[in-house]
Structure 1
Amino acid sequence: MNDEHAHSHEHAHGDDPTNAECADFLERIVRLIDNELEPGDCTIVRAHIDSCSPCLERYDLQRTVKTLVARSCGETAPDDLRARVRIQIQEIQVRITGA
């Protein structure tokens, strides 16, 4: 499949992100970002993203969110925040157990 053929189809929905075809691609876009797709599927998903503005926006948003989450998972919360969270958890446990 050459590039010209891969990009030759235009979506009838224009910029409508509710299109059934696009809904099918949402999960595949996330799997593409996570490197969980077979090479052939990667080509199909990338061709769709290249020809569909709403899906390209979703791809960019998902990638940005995953990058931010990954970066924040490597950070340690400040000691005072950790202490406040521990106190709140203990207070909730006391309320639940009635002790």
Structure 2
Amino acid sequence: MTDCGCEKAKAELEEYLHNELRKDDAADIQEHLATCTDCSAEHLIGRTMTEVMQRACKETAPEVLRDQVLLKLRALQASH
């Protein structure tokens, strides 16, 4: 039995999600995802997690919280 592309798709999914593959390899993965429900579902999970993480990394703490943390750090530094 030959691999239908699942092994390659799963091995390179992370790179595919981050656009780190060569054009030819990305096209192979994209073609495979269009026809394989298992790999397509895994891709959706990976893409969703990637998007959530990217949004979370862009968030900033409220200014009040930042000020409280900085004050606490300065107090700790002064006591040592």
Residue 31 of structure 1 pairs with residue 15 of structure 2: yes
**2:60 is equivalent to residue 72 of structure 1:** no
Q: Which whole-Å CA distance do the structure 2 matches of 1:28 and 1:53 have between them?
A: 17
Matches within 5 A, 1:9-88: 21-77=5-61, 79=65, 83=69
Give the distance between the partners of 2:53 and 2:34, measured in 1 at CA: 25
The Cα shift of 1:20 comes to 8.7
The separation in 2 between residues aligned to 1:29 and 1:55, in whole angstroms, is 9
**Percent of counterpart pairs with the same letter?**
24
* TM-score normalised by L of structure 2: 0.66
Corresponding residue pairs, total:
68
Q: Which has the higher helix share?
A: 2
Q: Please, what TM-score do these two structures have when normalized by structure 1?
A: 0.55
The 4+ residue runs of structure 1 with deviation greater than 4 A are: none
Q: Which runs of 5+ in 1 are unaligned?
A: 1-11, 13-18, 91-99
Residue 24 of structure 1, CA deviation: 3.2
Q: Once the 2 structures are TM-superposed, how far is the Cα of residue 31 of structure 1 from its aligned partner?
A: 0.8
Could you tell me which runs of 5 or more consecutive residues in structure 2 were left unpaired when the two chains were aligned.
none
